[in-house]
Amino acid sequence: MKLKSLLLLALVFSIQLIAQEGTVVKNIDKQILDEWLTASKVPAIAIATIENGKLKTIQVQGKISETQKAKPSTIFDVASLTKTITTLVTLKLVENKSWDLNEPLYHYWIDPDVKNDTLHRKLTTKHVLSHRTGFKNWRWLNEDKKLAFDFEPGQKFQYSGEGFEYLRKALESKFKMSLEKLSDSLVFKPNHMKNSYLTWNDKIEEIQFAGTHDKEGKAYTYEKSYQVNAADNLLTTIEDLSTLCVNMLNGKLLNKEVYKEMIKPHSIVREGINFGLGWIVFEDLPNDEYALFNAGSDTGVNALIVLLPKSKRGLVVMTNGDNGRGLAMKAIGETLGEAGKEILERF
């Protein structure tokens, strides 16, 4: 082969490598993770990366106590990532035609605080999952501590955990089954999530719990919740949650019709950031990509999920410290290339 042809082939190969660079998930060096944990005073971090629809790596660094190292089987509280489970439960019911996204929820549940407000008759599941209920995040944020509509459902975006709790009560009323049992049968068991729970139980301590820690890395006294909440307190492992995300990227969770409805922008958070059903949606990313994003943050814990469905890449991060949000966001930029950097810029 002539030298000119060889040079041309080399040039083409180089261009292909450059084009692929933005679609490859990168691992974070162990030493870098240790530096992050030390600088931020976050005791432990668990990271899962997904590439080509397959789990690429699970990295777990740090400790949950002075004597115990965190492990892939360590259970973390992932706060608002609970909404991801509630969303999937609901959409599985929509998929099997036993639930309607547009049916008014008053057919199954009316909260006593809003029973005299006619706006409750307009509230639907679609409003809940796209955060357009008109409710504040929690009713205790109102002066009288009661649930109330700030505006008509569907009018605009306003993040609300109360909306998800309203939906839970409607689901439980219709199906005569707790959200825990619905989650077990529709999400946890089908996806082999063996160590995922919506409420506290003794098995969690037997396995290993990551705990919660303040900005100095000191342990909080964890408040164990024995009451299910559709918006908060999911207890899970990096192994379980990454398995769920792999199945999502491979189209194993929902049929095409329901999935399409889920990723469609239903409300505008701000320019460049929309809410679908249960997921933040970033459109028009580099390499003709879009992203599904969810995050959870409570006292002493921070976690997030980023999925890039077109290239079947993903990232799951869990931390057990107040400063963990910064580490989780750093991980996006370190692992997801151009798309990750664009997501960070929009935040």
The whole-number average pLDDT for the span 216-245 is 97
What is residue 12's predicted lDDT score, i.e. its pLDDT? 39
- Output the CA torsion 27→327→236→48 (10° steps): -10
Q: CA angle, 130 as apex, 124 and 131 as ends, to 5°?
A: 85
- Output the CA torsion 310→244→75→308 (10° steps): 10
How far is it, in rounded angstroms, from Cα 206 to Cα 192? 19
Task: Count CA atoms closer than 13 A to 71's CA, side-chain side.
Answer: 7
% helix, strand, coil for the chain, step of 5: 40, 20, 40
Encode pLDDT of 289-324 as tens digits: 999 999 999 999 999 999 999 999 999 999 999 999
Percent of the chain with pLDDT over 70: 93
The whole-number average pLDDT for the span 250-255 is 98
Answer yes or no: are the C-beta atoms of 70 and 60 closer than 8 Å. yes
Spans of all domains in the chain: 26-346
What is residue 138's predicted lDDT score, i.e. its pLDDT? 98
Which helix (DSSP H) or strand (DSSP E) does residue 45 occupy? strand 44-51
Encode pLDDT of 169-213 as tens digits: 999 999 999 999 999 999 999 999 999 999 999 999 899 999 999
Q: What is the DSSP letter of 151?
A: S
How far is it, in rounded angstroms, from Cα 100 to Cα 93? 8
What is residue 24's predicted lDDT score, i.e. its pLDDT? 80
Q: Does the structure show a pLDDT above 70 at 217? A: yes
Q: Does the structure show a pLDDT above 60 at 284? A: yes
Q: CA angle, 139 as apex, 136 and 144 as ends, to 5°?
A: 115
pTM, two decimal places: 0.93
SS3 143: coil
Question: Would you give the end-to-end CA distance of the chain in angstroms?
Answer: 51
The whole-number average pLDDT for the span 107-132 is 98
How far is it, in rounded angstroms, from Cα 180 to Cα 302? 22
Q: Does the structure show a pLDDT above 50 at 278? A: yes
- Among 1.20.1530.20, 3.40.640.10, 3.40.710.10, 3.40.50.300, name the CATH number for the domain at 26-346: 3.40.710.10
Identify the residue with better confidence: 332 or 3: 332
The rounded Cα 46 to chain-centroid distance in angstroms is 15
Residue 26: pLDDT band by 50, 70, 90 thresholds?
confident
Residue-averaged pLDDT of the chain: 94
What is residue 342's predicted lDDT score, i.e. its pLDDT? 97
